Structure 1
Amino acid sequence: MGKLYGALFVLSLIWGTSFLFIKILLENLAPSAVVFGRCLFGAAALALIIFFQKREFLVKGAPWRKLLLVGFLNNALPWYFISVSETQISSSLASVINASTPIWTLIIGTVLFSARLKGRQWIGILIGFAGIIILSDIRPGDFVSGNLFGIGFMSAAAACYGAGAHLTKKYLVDLPIIHISFYTLLAATMISFVAMLATAPDSLPQLVQSENLLPLLGLGSFGSGIAYLFYFYLVKEGSAELASLVTYIVPGTALIWGAVLLDESIHLSMIFGLLVIFSGVYISTGKKTGKKGKPAAA
């Protein structure tokens, strides 16, 4: 579990800046263009890694249809939903709603994938979500007063992540992690390119403008390419439920980045919220993961 917890924390550090990068890019790009740029830069980063590691790009007998399905459900579709939602709601509210991913993962696993769950798993998830509310200082009234359109799209993105993680665990566990990451992002790149041409064709030249390159590098190459190596490692070696817990830690690492890079203050309530989140993660993952190829009953 030590390596899995380490990967979980590193992934949360990388993804701690994602909502900020999306918000910045939406100032100049349409949501579909943000998704295409994110997928393109991510796939390019993984292609370079495969090239320098002298791996084969083509996997003989690879489940291409399943890779396409996971690329659609785990990348292209939720990233489009997130981008659309952030045109309507704040990045902080988006990150809180995104933290419902573990709950969606448990529900989808129970209903569609016959995942075995225990009471402590549900308790840990709910404790962690309570910690998110404390950490972000989001009150119940904020959900009511917020744009329902944006909240709905963000919730749909969280549900897509849950479904994508379970599909990966069920169908792609025998593939190398680098190939799962690259080919699902490649599939998402093709899907999002068609979507961008259909909805915002004028955005293509804007992708190479200087003010967009740095955010795309952070969001795509690091936040999508390299980050997905850690994400699929968590899914493959741990479980879909474990990987989804990264969304609980991301708001905390976002606070860390804010303190380090923007000199933002950290209040006592934030520290308490982080402790609640970590306790929830520990409770829900305290038991060892299940056998390889099956979701763990933490």
Structure 2
Amino acid sequence: MTTQSKGSENKGTAQLTAAMVLSGTLGVFVVESGASPFNVVFFRVLFGALALGGYVVARGWLRDHGFTPRTLGLAVLGGVFIVFNWVLLFQSYENTSISVATVVYHTQPFYVVLLGALLFRERLTLAKVGWIAVAFAGLILVSGVTPGDFASGGTYLTGVGQALLAALLYGLSTLVTKRVTGVRPHLVALVQVLVGIPLLLPFTDFAAMRGTGADWGWLVGLGVIHTGLMYVLMYAAYAQLPTAKIAVLAFVYPAVAMVMDWLVYGHHIGLVQALGVPLIVAASLKVTLAKPSREVTAQVTPSAPAPAAPQPR
């Protein structure tokens, strides 16, 4: 590796680490805003669209954007999945905890693999099936759900289900977005947040936002920091990093989220639940990196979409 390429990779590592650390603070911003999940997501996409739109315009990327009717339709569909994925994840924070919801949600890579095999006949090897089974064994441990919970129901079980459904929607969005080619990923992201504005408008309770006061800062932060800045950092990093490093650094996000949940709210997962975390981490890395041994740098160019790595949560 040349000095220049090494410097580029180090810069990408710093950018992606910063993005994942910021992502790990998202749950605190959601909870501290005091708004309902639908209101939170509406104002996140509103402020996020302003931030991303400003960046895209400043870079001059609206000219020769590369969208066709087909790719624009796919970007819009991916946006529908992403927006409701956020709503479900934020509802899961309320019903479980940031820690549990985040780790359960991090089963997204396995949904991508399973949905790819089911919908697009992508190859599903026996090894991947085995690692997916390991991951879901870890999921059972992390969730802390017992047979009695299924009998009694309750908000905790509902919250776990919401995190799983959010991961499923994320997986669908990833599969759809992977098929958008010839367009800068920043423009795809901008379309996805713009879609959320009219989509969530009927569900947004503006009356409940009266008297929000200083808590507006948390909502603005979700749009500007956790949507605008986060995307810019991640996409800049993807262009400079090998896939293996992207996969490993993705786990900074749940680690930071768990630490923040403990520091701010005193929530932490129990010993038995903690045993499931390394199972999910190991299985995720094995599935994500189950590719030819030759390492390929994940290029982000106008002719290629961003790799399927975690988006801002």
Return the TM-score normalized by structure 2: 0.69
Distance 1:244 1:72 in 2: 25
1:155 aligns with 2:164: yes
Q: Which stretches in structure 2 are left out of the alignment for 5+ residues? A: 1-5, 299-303, 309-313
% same residue: 22
1:22 maps to what in 2? 30
- Are the counterparts in 2 of residues 98 and 155 from structure 1 also a CA contact under 8 Å? yes
1:212 aligns with 2:216: yes
Number of aligned positions between the proteins: 281
Distance 2:178 2:40 in 1: 27
Distance 2:100 2:268 in 1: 19
Q: Give the superposition deviation at 1:110.
A: 1.2
1:40 maps to what in 2? 46
Matches within 5 A, 1:1-298: 6=13, 9-25=17-33, 27=34, 29-56=35-62, 59=65, 61-62=67-68, 63-74=71-82, 76-127=83-134, 139-141=144-146, 147=155, 148-170=157-179, 172-196=180-204, 200-205=205-210, 209-213=213-217, 215-229=218-232, 230=234, 249-257=252-260, 278-288=281-291
Distance 1:225 1:191 in 2: 19
Q: Give the superposition deviation at 1:176.
A: 0.6
Q: Secondary structure at the match of 1:86?
A: helix
Distance 2:97 2:268 in 1: 19
Letter in 2 for 1:40: L
Q: Which stretches in structure 1 are left out of the alignment for 5+ residues? A: none
Q: Secondary structure at the match of 2:96?
A: coil
> Quick one: structure 1 residues 21 and 9, their matched pair in 2 at CA, closer, same or farther if it must change by over 3 Å?
same
Distance 1:243 1:155 in 2: 23
> Quick one: structure 1 residues 206 and 159, their matched pair in 2 at CA, closer, same or farther if it must change by over 3 Å?
farther
Distance 1:132 1:123 in 2: 14
- Look at both structures and tell me which one has the larger radius of gyration over its CA atoms: 2
- Alignment RMSD, CA only? 4.3
Q: Give the superposition deviation at 1:112.
A: 0.9
Letter in 1 for 2:286: I
